[in-house]
Homo-oligomer: A and B are copies of this chain.
């Protein structure tokens, strides 16, 4: 029994100054957590109870698919992360430190490397596989901007699982098992999630999906179509228009250079085209020129983790902007920064405002990498800079007049864009990443030489999956989803207690009866939170009870003299008067769902 009179719980009437979101505000005010440093939190007794319940649900679902729990240290040596490149790729997000001998260590953001090495240490045959290992443990990431309480922290508890298979088919099976376990986990946590195709990012690997919980405060943008397509915005692929065949391309008008004085922006170029060449546009039925046709060229300097740099030109339809997150995902681990004036001066082939494909590409004299939006398909016709001031090329046809080093998914995704699988227009939604599953493939096993002997005695590289759930974040997400203006609204499975007994008033009888009810409920196996504070007003106790958010409460107060106590439902606000003799059964029935 938790007695509020002696518990390490203090509620606050005021919102903490730094709280931006409801979960942060309420978890702090209700005394579940306290901030210890930027992005580092302390779990107070009630908060820890909720956290342990979330952990236990996650654990049970991992055990149910044959996951075996282990525990690795957060402190790990540099070497394996050096071998896979993550020591560098993680950049400033990694907490790095040295020991007394000046050897390098890190606080692990995830543990792919050391799980791989441990499996290598223990296993040697295909018969040992598949195996699925997991841990529930503190992770560290030096976020640039920790924010929103538990939603973006620098230390957080994560369930990270890793699968090891000898074959691609085996990996598919392991991946599907985790996918199912995640669906069941979030169902039990009461967190609706959308499974989105995701960009594998710095983890490498092939297939990857995120479990996004739709919420307006989510940091991720994702898209869904009515037909069921769902993807993180970084992972959306563009539905390209059909390409033309060679015969059709041959029938298109030849390219020609035109004077376009002062038309150094897409807007100016579109205006000028409509004034100077009215009705010649290639997209609209009326021949009106659109921004779409004006091929926009953007120039970046790429910086790789080893410090080397390279220029990059991206071309996309003129009506689209670049989406910074998609660009970042497409180029990772390189980081792209827009060209500066100084950069332009060093590359005179790039005439700002009049850049076109001429002279670009790895095979060209300039050697500048040139990537185009997927909508730039063979036979598509564009207007682009002619590489000199006040001149543009018209009827410039991809595949005939120019080529590129490849395509890039960097253009913004817009509400209404077609889903790549043809399942209808996309709707943009905000979400919070609750889980992420990856088919890593052989990247880590190859780097760290994890092989097993197959049926023919031949050494084969193991294929891996990696599966994460943010456990502390899940606590916050539930608090964010389930609260009202008065406080938290825990679901029964996660509530720090099954029932909250509130004794009000000063009478000895009230406290004795409340104590008896609390003891009986505890004897029935319920977790009881008992507000036994003397000299605290009923108003304060009710407010605290609402703030703490236990689903069911029993108020023993003035009406006890009339032979009744109150059974309250936190979510609906319903109050039932009931005799003290019947209240224990009634609470047990509520809690057990009878």
Contact = CB atoms under 8 A, between A and B. Distances in A.
Interface string A109-120: 000001000110
A423 interface: no
A68 B45 contact: yes
Nearest to A164: B8
A36 B133 contact: no
Contact of A99 (B8, B68, B131, B142): B142
Contact of A8 (B92, B95, B96, B131): B131
A442 interface: no
Given A68-B45, A69-B48, A118-B42, A75 B144 contact: no
Nearest to A66: B6
A70 B95 contact: no
B142 A72 contact: no
Copies in the complex: 2
B100 A138 contact: no
Interface size class of A (residues with CB under 8 A): 35 or more
A123 interface: yes
B8 A133 contact: yes
A40 B41 CA distance: 25
A279 to B, nearest CB: 56
A247 interface: no
A7 B43 CA distance: 33
Interface in A289-335: none
A121 interface: yes
A320 to B, nearest CB: 33
A237 B188 CA distance: 60
A75 B154 CA distance: 9
A7 B69 CA distance: 11
Given A118-B34, A122-B8, A71 B51 contact: yes
A40 B99 contact: no
Contact of A105 (B10, B37, B71, B76): B37
Interface of A: 6-10, 31, 34, 36-37, 40-45, 48, 51, 66, 68-77, 92-93, 95-97, 99-100, 105, 107, 114, 118-119, 121-123, 131, 133, 138, 140, 142, 144, 154-155
26 contacts: A8-B70, A8-B133, A34-B118, A36-B77, A37-B73, A40-B73, A40-B75, A40-B76, A42-B70, A42-B71, A42-B118, A43-B71, A44-B118, A44-B122, A45-B69, A45-B70, A48-B71, A73-B155, A75-B140, A75-B154, A75-B155, A92-B100, A93-B100, A99-B154, A100-B144, A138-B138
Given A36-B72, A45-B69, 10 more contacts: A8-B68, A31-B122, A34-B118, A37-B73, A40-B76, A42-B118, A73-B138, A75-B154, A93-B100, A100-B144
